């Protein structure tokens, strides 16, 4: 299912380009290609960091974990305050996802890699290049894993393992209670910031 957007006929090259990007971002091809490019940019950044400097494996492992941890908060914050926030640009696309969880609307495939490359460049101004590439690569990989998790949750159907079923159910609950369970890959920040969904039966049992 696709969502046609930006069909206005007002002229201008900029408007035309934006409309073309909006149409492209709702296609099935963009959806699948973006999952590949998200992983690709993560691996390229991590590979480049390793190539530049792999003399301190412990420090590298810590920075890598720090990047994943930072991304877990970005995932929560963007979902809570942007996708369910007051900025129409972000909120509109996410509303489409809530209405059509199996739809193909997503960001243009080149947008997240471009943001991550800018982040890497900005970080390289403040720290050694290898560390900047490692940190931004870990954040990029976190984003790719988030996108893949979300895809699997909605398209896999029923999971065999009870833990996997519980993990997927947490996000399905979010689709019914949009002010709860913002974390997709993990419930960490929902626990910490009070948005973890507690069912009414559990509340009564307390
Ligand atoms: Zn979803
Ligand atoms: Zn949502």
Distance 60 CA to ligand 1 centre (A): 32
Distance 31 CA to ligand 2 centre (A): 18
- Residue 10 pLDDT: 52
CA distances, 180 to each of 2, 84, 148, 155 (Å): 26, 11, 21, 21
The ligand whose atoms approach the alpha carbon of 150 most closely is 1
Place of tokens 């974990």: 65
Distance 58 CA to ligand 1 centre (A): 35
- Residue 196 pLDDT: 96
- Residue 25 pLDDT: 84
Q: How far apart are CA 46 and CA 140, in angstroms?
A: 9
Q: How far apart are CA 150 and CA 175, in angstroms?
A: 12
Distance 27 CA to ligand 1 centre (A): 17
- Residue 70 pLDDT: 98
Distance 39 CA to ligand 1 centre (A): 19
Task: Report which of 164, 192, 198, 169 is spatially closest to residue 76, judged by C-alpha positions.
Answer: 192
Distance 94 CA to ligand 2 centre (A): 6
- Residue 17 pLDDT: 85
Distance 65 CA to ligand 1 centre (A): 25
Tens-binned pLDDT, residue by residue, of the chain (206 aa): 333 444 444 557 778 888 888 888 889 999 999 999 999 999 999 999 999 998 999 999 999 999 999 999 999 999 999 999 887 877 888 888 999 989 888 888 999 999 999 999 999 999 999 999 999 999 999 999 999 999 999 998 788 999 999 999 999 999 999 999 999 999 999 999 999 997 765 545 44
Phi then psi for 187, rounded to 5 degrees? -90, 10
- Residue 104 pLDDT: 86
The ligand whose atoms approach the alpha carbon of 174 most closely is 2
- Residue 202 pLDDT: 59
**Terminal-residue alpha carbon distance, the chain:** 43
pTM: 0.87
Task: Report which of 144, 186, 147 is spatially closest to residue 43, judged by C-alpha positions.
Answer: 144
- Residue 204 pLDDT: 52
Q: How far apart are CA 145 and CA 125, in angstroms?
A: 27
The ligand whose atoms approach the alpha carbon of 170 most closely is 1
Q: How far apart are CA 129 and CA 108, in angstroms?
A: 27
Q: How far apart are CA 123 and CA 142, in angstroms?
A: 17
Distance 41 CA to ligand 1 centre (A): 23
Distance 84 CA to ligand 2 centre (A): 6
């Amino acid at each position: 299912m696709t969502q046609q957007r930006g069909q206005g006929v007002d002229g201008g090259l900029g408007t035309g380009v934006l409309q073309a990007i909006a149409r492209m971002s709702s296609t099935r091809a963009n959806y699948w290609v973006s999952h590949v490019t998200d992983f690709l940019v993560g691996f390229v950044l991590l590979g480049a960091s390793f190539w530049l400097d792999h003399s301190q494996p412990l420090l590298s492992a810590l920075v890598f974990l720090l990047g994943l941890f930072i991304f877990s908060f970005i995932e929560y914050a963007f979902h809570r305050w942007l996708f369910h926030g007051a900025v129409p640009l972000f909120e509109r696309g996410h509303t489409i996802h809530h209405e059509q969880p199996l739809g193909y609307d997503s960001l243009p495939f080149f947008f997240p890699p471009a943001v991550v490359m800018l982040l890497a460049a900005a970080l390289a101004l403040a720290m050694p290049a290898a560390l900047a590439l490692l940190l931004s690569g870990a954040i990029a990989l976190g984003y790719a894993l988030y996108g893949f998790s979300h895809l699997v949750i909605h398209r896999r159907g029923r999971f065999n393992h009870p833990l996997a079923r519980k993990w997927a159910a947490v996000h399905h609950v979010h689709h019914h209670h949009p002010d709860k369970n913002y974390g997709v890959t993990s419930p960490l920040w929902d626990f910490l910031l009070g948005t973890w969904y507690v069912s009414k039966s559990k509340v009564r049992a307390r």
